[in-house]
Chains A and B, each alone.
Chain A
Amino acid sequence: MSWRPVKAVVGREMSKLFRQRARLISAMVRPMIWLLVIGSGVGSMLQSQQQEGYLTFLVPGILAMTLLFASLLSALTLVYDKEFGVMRMMMIAPIAHYWIVLSKLIAATLTAMVQALLLLFLFVLLGLISIKIALSLLPAAVLTAICCASIGGLIAVYSKSIDNFAVIMNFFIFPLFFLSGALYPVSQLPEFLRYIVLVNPFSYGVDLLKHAVPNVATDFSIWTDIAVLVVFSTSAILIACWQFSRESVHAPLFHRLGNK
């Protein structure tokens, strides 16, 4: 197995990322709005000495949000490619089909990391965090990005078309985000919601990111976070590769096209 096909798939996603500047800029604007609006809005309800603390608390959460959106949406291009036919170009190539999934997930992780780097740069510019903290957030960000990409890959291989995009937003992205401890400490949630947070793999990414920022309360130990992220991502990627390699995934696609 040569790396050239993998590089080609990853390269295609990267060139799309940098070509669509508006998408890149909006990916930076969204977390800033969250940070400034939610940060100062919710912060204003807190006592003055807690206000700055809440902004710092939000930094890992907002970074995690950026990783989640970027990584998951990028992994979902698997469905776009299926819909617009480019998937056929990859499937007829002499590579094992699971490499298509793996390449897409590598691309999704890289896409998310490009956006994370830009965001961290903005955070440092705004004086929210030091360069040292920004650097220590990076390894945690990589693990979180992989975790989000594998969630996206899992959703993508089980989706038939992009029509259910809104469904994916409402049933996956928002719950994953809101029930993760990104915006508030898990310990303060009602008990039934806390259980949901516990089974949400993304929570452990958020928590790992919190570990990198001093004075931010965390809910789990670093090792729990890493273990959950690694085990979850590995299993999700394996299932996605297995499901994608089964012909039933593409049979409806070809069948539909064949009967047009």
Chain B
Amino acid sequence: MITSINTPLAIKTHGLCKQYGQSFAVNQLNLEIEAGQFYGLLGPNGAGKTTTIHMLTTMTVATSGEAWIAGQNIEEDPVATRGIVGLVFQDSALDRTMSIDENLQFAAALYNLTPMQANKRIDELLAVFGLQDQRNKKLLALSGGQRRAVDIARGVLHKPKVLFLDEPTIGLDLPNRRAIWRFVDRLRREEGMTIFLTTHYLEEAAACDHVDFIQQGLLQKGGTPTALVQQLAETILEIDTEQPQIIADQLSPLFGEPIQEDQQLSFKITASDVDFSALQKTLGDSVSAMQWRRPNLNDVYLWRFCAPDSTVEKQ
């Protein structure tokens, strides 16, 4: 076991487990994330993403295993660990009856920033988020996107080395989601912090340097989003049909078994020389729509978690 604290790793875990009764929320997690990385952990609801974040931020104690944040063993000194991590919770951690300023001043004092340091930092962050004119507004008077921005500002007040974002854009509309990502990107560039992200919006994870997957508490190694997409397939073929079973039987020998969702079939095609126009003619009236396109991270996710069965993987 390597426990050297000289490694530049922002996050390192070794056999990290969290057990609730008989079931493992997280099972034997081994992670090594380099400083400055934008890391994404993807997986279905209840897969163990939030539990992982809560263990790494000392919000819950691991049942077994060890973890280090920037060389700091988290179990040995949880208080010091909390000083170097930032966490934006899935649900807001702000007091809705207080103003932006009161919330951030309160959080800054909890991080032991002097009022002067706090004011300077709050000015800086509100400028990044474009909220400098709303400083004395009550949280209740803000939009969902603005509240989330304040939540993120709260998470980075103390310039953490590692920022954990647990579904940061959940429940936000597209413009707000994009705005949040612009802010996060700016924070990364300007402050060089490592970011650990969980999200359901996979197009957001495409910006990550590295993504891994987690299911039923078990980590499945991923890679860079680009490599994962390339490895998955050359083309994704989607067919809408009223006779999915017949089409599936007809095409499976060629392309492998598809993912079936109601009347839609989705094939992953690794060959690069398929003549789709000819295929369309062959299938004729039995399909109501057919499209072929480049795969994306959504497809990687779907084929990992919704693949028809293991026989597909053997082909």
Contact = CB atoms under 8 A, between A and B. Distances in A.
Contacts of B112: 2, 4-5, 94
B89 A88 contact: yes
Interface in A1-29: 2, 4-5, 7-9, 11-12
A258 B50 contact: yes
B239 to A, nearest CB: 35
Contacts of A257: 50, 89-91
A88 B92 CA distance: 9
A160 interface: no
A33 interface: no
B15 interface: no
Given A85-B91, A93-B111, A247 B82 contact: no
Nearest to A92: B87
Contacts of B46: 258-259
Contacts of B109: 4-5, 7-8, 11
Given A255-B20, A257-B90, A259-B45, A89 B110 contact: yes
A199 interface: no
A12 B59 contact: no
A133 interface: no
Contacts of A254: 50, 54, 59-60
B50 A85 contact: no
B50 A95 contact: no
Contacts of B110: 5, 8-9, 89-90, 93-95
A258 B57 CA distance: 15
Interface size class of B (residues with CB under 8 A): 35 or more
A250 B94 contact: no
A89 B111 contact: no
Contacts of A260: 90-91
Contacts of A91: 59
A158 B197 CA distance: 33
A227 interface: no
B79 A12 contact: no
Given A247-B61, A250-B59, A94 B79 contact: yes
Interface string B95-123: 11010000001110111101000000000
Given A92-B82, A94-B112, A8 B50 contact: no
A86 B102 CA distance: 13
A86 B154 CA distance: 12
A258 B107 CA distance: 22
A50 to B, nearest CB: 48
A86 B59 contact: no
A167 interface: no
B51 interface: yes
Scoring B85, B89, B110, B114 by chain A CB atoms within 10 A of each residue's CB, the highest score goes to B110
Contacts of A84: 95-96
Interface in A219-260: 247, 250-251, 254-255, 257-260
B60 A93 contact: no
Contacts of B54: 254, 258
A93 B107 CA distance: 8
A257 B85 CA distance: 20
Contacts of B140: none
B80 interface: yes
B308 interface: no
B127 interface: no
B94 A86 contact: yes
Interface of A: 2, 4-5, 7-9, 11-12, 84-86, 88-96, 247, 250-251, 254-255, 257-260
Given A86-B93, A89-B95, A91-B59, 17 more contacts: A2-B112, A4-B112, A4-B114, A84-B95, A85-B94, A89-B110, A89-B154, A92-B85, A92-B87, A93-B111, A94-B83, A95-B110, A247-B60, A257-B89, A258-B46, A258-B51, A260-B90
Interface of B: 20, 45-46, 50-51, 54, 57, 59-61, 79-80, 82-83, 85-87, 89-96, 98, 105-107, 109-112, 114, 154, 158
Closest 10 pairs between A and B when the two form their complex, measured CB to CB: A8-B109, A93-B110, A94-B83, A258-B50, A88-B93, A94-B82, A89-B93, A5-B110, A86-B95, A247-B61
18 contacts: A4-B109, A4-B114, A8-B105, A12-B106, A84-B95, A88-B59, A88-B93, A89-B107, A92-B86, A92-B87, A94-B112, A94-B158, A250-B60, A251-B20, A257-B89, A258-B50, A258-B51, A260-B91
